[in-house]
Amino acid sequence: MLPAIRRDPVGVFMRGALRFGDVVYFRIGPRRGYLLTNPEDVRHVLQDNARNYHKSPLYDKLRLFLGNGLLTSEDDLWLRQRRIAQPAFHRQRVTALAGVMGEAARDAAARWRPFAAAGQPVDVDEEMMRLTRTVVVRALLGADLGPFTSTIDQAWAIVNQHVGESFWSLGFTDGWPTHRNRRFQAARAVLRGAVDHVITERRRNPSDSDDLLSMLMSARDEETGEAMTDEQLRVEVTTFLLAGQETTSLALTWTWYLLSQNPRARQRLEDELDAMLDGRPPEYPDLAHLPYLRMVIDEAMRLYPPAWGFSRQALADDRLGGFQLPRGWLAFVIPYVLHRLPAFWTDPDAFDPERFSPERSADRPKFAYIPFGAGPRQCIGNQFALIETQLIVATLAQAYRLQLVPRHNAEPWPLITLRPRYGMPMIIERRTPARRPSQPPADPRR
């Protein structure tokens, strides 16, 4: 399947699942494995029998560039790093960061004013990247990127393309001085420079803040009392920059795209925002009263899950859906496919946020919808991302309406993450939130 998978991984997995059912055998180059689409089997691999699985060798490509950080490490190292970082993502800590998220969203709203006035298209994918990068850098690293601010997003794009395309390659040309490899090395150097800048600045001005960066820098090994090595610290900061910025920005980009294609849903969202917020900026407590907003975001991540697919490798033989999974074989879990299976989703390709209403979700198996993964390796930043995306959409959708540039091809591109292959140029129109009708003046005759 290697050439077909290289051309169209999402299509190959989707067709396999539709044609052959819950467990589909794949041979991809030298590797063998199963695509799993029964939520019970997904639960088994990611959660119930997670100890029997490591992230698959496909992550080696990511490891080559990210090193062994929280996203890519295993066993004791993973557990230690997860324990160090976890407190930064407790609900209370994350809700306390809502102010930073809201402020960044308002800055973006102000930045868009001239674009709206000129009616010129804006690359919304790039805008969202900038916005979520600002949030991660400010909220978790308490930093700014100094001279790297203007180059880092382009560097990520190059790295994502390089690593994403090489996922399925056998790596024969990895070390060659080709144009592609040189471009990748240059992008890596930019990222390394940015991360070093953040760490050096914090060392120069030690702050008494208790953000994620402080936690990483002050953590001490329980047995040896030693701090993380500089290299491990670098790896973790890079991991959080990548994992925190890229996926969240794509969730937002696809949300804007889907809203522009579904004017009725957009209208309903605007009505909810106008009625609840009455033109003021949203704050964290408002989110509990904006159910449709949350459903829109859940539905966008169903259709375009930013982490579109992941995989595991069995450490020992296992049994799945009545089949033997031998040691060393892979298990593919592909949210893009799970999220569109007709068995769990009526009219699966339609954008229908209300399918996430409590009534319509009640009978759906939990593991049929896993944009943040599941089990011990579930995304550490899921609350952070959900609060951030809701605040950003609520802020910007009050002030603007985004229209996809006519005839633009918004084809998804499954790299490490699911990017829009040709970007997402959109026209930004200003809108005035409808004010709640004010109370009629009291009748003076009474």
Candidates 16, 39, 142, 244; binder of ligand HEM (CB under 6 A) is 244
Q: Which of 282, 353, 371, 414 binds ligand HEM (CB under 6 A)?
A: 371
Cβ-closest residue to ligand HEM? 381
Q: How far is the CB of 375 from ligand HEM (least distance, A)?
A: 8
Per-residue contact string for residues 55-74; x = within reach of ligand HEM by CB under 6 A: x--------------xx---
332 φ, ψ to 5°?
A: -95, 125
Least spacing, CB of residue 12 vs ligand HEM, in Å = 20
Q: Please, what is the Cα angle at 156 between 155 and 162, to 5 degrees?
A: 95
* Options 284-292, 365-373, 403-411, 424-432: segment touching ligand HEM (CB under 6 A): 365-373
Contact flags string 324-353 toward ligand HEM, x per CB under 6 A: ------------------------------
Taking CB under 6 A as the rule, which mask of x and - marks residues 378-417 in contact with ligand HEM? -xxx--xx--------------------------------
Q: How far apart are CA 20 and CA 312, in angstroms?
A: 21
Say how far apart CA 435 and CA 278 lie, in whole Å. 6
Contact 108, 388 (CB under 8 A): no
CA angle 195/197/202 to nearest 5° reads 100
User: Residues 199-238 vs ligand HEM: string with x where CB under 6 A?
Assistant: ----------------------------------------
Q: Which is nearer to ligand HEM, 242 or 410 (CB)?
A: 242
DSSP state of 421: T
Contact between 28 and ligand HEM by CB under 6 A: the answer reads no
Residue pair 391/102 in contact (Cβ under 8 Å)? The answer is: yes
SS3 state of residue 325? strand
* DSSP conformation letters of 146-167: GGGTTTHHHHHHHHHHHHHHHT
Gap between the Cα atoms of 121 and 167, Å rounded: 33
Instruction: Specify the stretch interacting with ligand HEM by CB under 6 A; choose among 91-99, 259-267, 354-362, 370-378.
Output: 370-378
Rounded least distance, CB 124 to ligand HEM, Å: 16
The tokens describing 430, both together, are 């200003």
Rg (CA), the chain: 23
Lookup: tokens for 275: 């009625």
By CB under 6 A, name the one of 9, 142, 373, 420 that touches ligand HEM.
373
Taking the complex as a whole, the smallest distance from the CB of residue 389 to ligand HEM amounts, in Å, to 6
Least separation in angstroms between residue 100's CB and ligand HEM is 12
Provide the b/e sequence for 127-162 (b: ≥16 CB within 10 Å). Answer: bbbbbbbbbbbbbbbbbebeebeebbbebbbbbbbb
Q: Which residues bind ligand HEM (CB under 6 A)?
A: 55, 70-71, 82, 136, 140, 239-240, 243-244, 247-248, 251, 306-307, 310, 371-373, 377, 379-381, 384-385
